[in-house]
Amino acid sequence: MALKQVSSNRCFEGFQKVFEHDSAELKCKMKFGIYLPPKAETAKCPVLYWLSGLTCTEQNFITKAGFQQAAAEHGLIVVAPDTSPRGCNIEGEDESWDFGTGAGFYVDATEEPWKTNYRMYSYIKDELPKLINANFPTDPERMSIFGHSMGGHGALILALKNPGKYKSVSAFAPICNPIQCQWGKKALGGYLGSDVSKWEAYDATQLVKSYAGSPLDILIDQGKDDQFLSAGQLLPDNFIAACTEQKVPVVFRLQQGYDHSYFFIATFINDHIKHHAKYLNA
Residue 96 known to be catalytic: no
Say if residue 73 is exposed, middle or buried (CB neighbours under 10 Å; 0-12, 13-18, 19+).
Answer: middle
Query: Nearest Cα to 33, choosing from 4, 59, 72?
Result: 59
Tally helices (H) and strands (E) across the chain: 11, 9
Which segments of 85-235 does DSSP mark as H helices, in order? 120-122, 128-135, 150-161, 182-192, 196-199, 204-209, 227-230
Residue 226 known to be catalytic: yes
Backbone dihedral angles phi then psi of residue 23, each to the nearest 5 degrees: -90, 125
Residue 217 known to be catalytic: no
* Active-site choice (226, 272, 275, 276): 226
CA 220 – CA 156 distance, rounded (Å) = 10
CA 169 – CA 280 distance, rounded (Å) = 11
* Active-site choice (52, 84, 149, 170): 149
* Active-site choice (260, 272, 275, 276): 260
Catalytic residues: 149, 226, 260
